[in-house]
Amino acid sequence: MKTVYDFTVKDRQGNDVSLSEYRGKVLLIVNTATGCGFTPHYEPLEAMYRDLKEQGFEILDFPCNQFANQAPGSDDEIHEFCTLKFGTEFPQFKKIEVNGENADPLYVFLASEKPFEGFGKGVRNAALQKFADLNNKAFGEKTYIGWNFTKFLIDREGKVLARFEPTVDMGEVRKAVAAIL
């Protein structure tokens, strides 16, 4: 059975990193953007990281510019923004694509394990769905991720346990992480 440990990604400098280096840890893998309405998620993500990393928790941050061009900077510019504005210390990787022909294989795997089921109910979520549909039309059947700050929870064996859309309250995400630590 395939797990996240079967994938290799690029760090910010372009070096290969095998996700098997994170074997035995609980992971939260998230695609991010610096100019998104959900960018403030960096704050509770960093708080969760600081509070739980000693228990074997890691956040893996993958910037992506595929959603309304909300992460236009270079890898270094994005990293500088995140560290200066939100004090992030969790690993941030090279900017990737999560949808389309060039979607990173890790994200194709994550989304095949836990497919998109919608942003939830409510006016705000319906508005995001409408905007996402317009944005993601170009990706057709190769749309794996609906928007920035989609989070995947991975257990200590590398299995995908849950998917949290950006509209899910960060308190709920934290509770799910704490429950498997």
Instruction: Write down the H helix ranges in 87-169.
Output: 105-113, 123-136
Could you tell me the residue ranges of all domains in the chain? 4-180
Which residues are designated catalytic? Answer: 36
Give the CA angle between residues 132, 113, 95 to the nearest 5°: 55
Across 33-124, the runs of DSSP E, i.e. the strands, are 57-63
Residue 92 CA neighbour count, 13 Å, CB half: 23
Full-model pTM: 0.96
- The pLDDT value recorded for residue 53 is 98
- The pLDDT value recorded for residue 10 is 98
> Is 53 within 8 Å of 173 (Cβ atoms)?
no
Strand partners, 8: 18
Residue with tokens 């064996």: 157
Tell the burial category of 64 from Cβ atoms under 10 Å away from its Cβ (0-12, 13-18, 19+): buried
pLDDT in tens, 67-91: 999 999 999 999 999 999 999 999 9
Superfamily of domain 4-180: Glutaredoxin (3.40.30.10)
Residues of the chain with pLDDT under 50: none
In whole angstroms, what is the distance from residue 88 CA to residue 43 CA?
8
- The pLDDT value recorded for residue 124 is 85
- The pLDDT value recorded for residue 17 is 98
Please count the other Cβ atoms lying within 10 Å of the Cβ belonging to residue 70: 20
- The pLDDT value recorded for residue 145 is 97
Contacts of 118 (CB under 8 A, 6+ apart): 125, 129, 165
- The pLDDT value recorded for residue 69 is 94
